[in-house]
Amino acid sequence: MKTILHARRLARGFTLVEMVIVIVITGIIGTMVAVFIRVPVQGYMDVAARAALADTADTAARRLTRDVRLALPNSVRVGGNGLYLELLLTKTGGRYLSDSDPAGLGNVLSFETPPAPSTPLNFTVVGAMPADALGVRQAIGVGDQIVVYNLGGTYTPNDAYSCSAATGCNRAPVTAVSGNVVTLGSYPFTTAPAPLPSPSNRFQVVSTPVTYACDLATGTLTRYAGYAIQSAQPVVAGTAPLATDKGALLARQVTACAFSYTVLANVQRGLVNIDLSLGAPNSNTGVLRLVQQVQARNTP
């Protein structure tokens, strides 16, 4: 008999009242935990989100700063109400043989005498051939552009953007490189209106134009490269020449963006101003604003 009673007591479960009490107590404890933990957890999430915004803005500004410092002298231009910044990106530079150098040293890059029809359109680089940053291979390659004494809009024949029979041209495409000899696809340097030669016989090698485009409708900052050089600055993202396949997304959540460029007086330098805001308005994260200035070297 005792064994049967003991088994019944062991089989006994919770009563409804006991379950309600447990649920109420659990709810009270859960509410207290949520009240005390929500604020620090939310604070941590806000700090992490703001740190991510700051990192994105800093990375984009660093990329833009690097490109501006490698820009062809006098090639930075701003358009599209300050939402588009364009430049011509250089790889390297060097000196060319000119008409004033002694004969017999190689092929000159002449600004006086056009090359004979049977003569290859080439010139000899003075000294060691420019190498890449690691010194492994030649920095001048097929498809690059040789630019001489770029003055921008100051003198149209010496503006690398404006290359035509009417305006003249100071750049030519590279079609072959052999040792210290660079072969060009065209020779505009003696065609009227002829560009001015470099006083120091220097040339720069341009690899591609680069455009930074802010789209406030989509909240994005995109870097475009690999398109053909245009006389008029392209200011419509997503269409040729700033096609989607030419772009690389740098930042999202862009709420405000403004580029400006000022040529400094009495010095051969320009000043690029970058004003970039990222974030979500009226949120705990807020909006992070980054303002940065970069000097562009304009000594051709």
pLDDT tens, position by position, for the chain (300 residues)? 555 555 555 556 667 777 777 787 887 777 766 666 666 666 657 677 788 888 999 999 999 999 999 999 999 999 999 999 999 999 999 999 999 999 889 999 999 999 888 888 999 999 988 876 566 667 899 999 999 999 998 889 999 999 998 999 999 999 999 999 999 999 999 999 999 999 999 999 999 999 999 999 999 999 999 999 999 999 999 899 999 999 999 999 999 999 999 999 888 899 999 999 998 766 777 888 999 999 999 998
**Considering Cα of 13, then 18, then 20, then 24, what sign does the dihedral take?**
negative
Cα separation values, 294 from 29, 89, 121, 291, Å: 56, 15, 38, 10
Token pair of 283, please? 């949120």
Rounded CA gap, 286 and 53, in Å? 10
Name the one residue in this structure whose structure tokens are 């290859």: 120
CA distance 125 to 108: 9
Nearest C-alpha neighbor of 173 from the set 110, 108, 121: 121
Confidence (pTM): 0.85
Instruction: Output b/e per residue, 267-279; b: 16+ Cβ within 10 A.
Output: eeebebbbebbbb
Distance CA 60, CA 249 (A): 10
Backbone angles phi, psi at 153, to 5 degrees: -75, 0
Instruction: Give the closest residue to 249 by CA, choosing from 225, 277, 213, 221.
Output: 221
Q: Identify any residues that bridge with 275 across adjacent strands, giving them in sequence order.
A: 258, 291
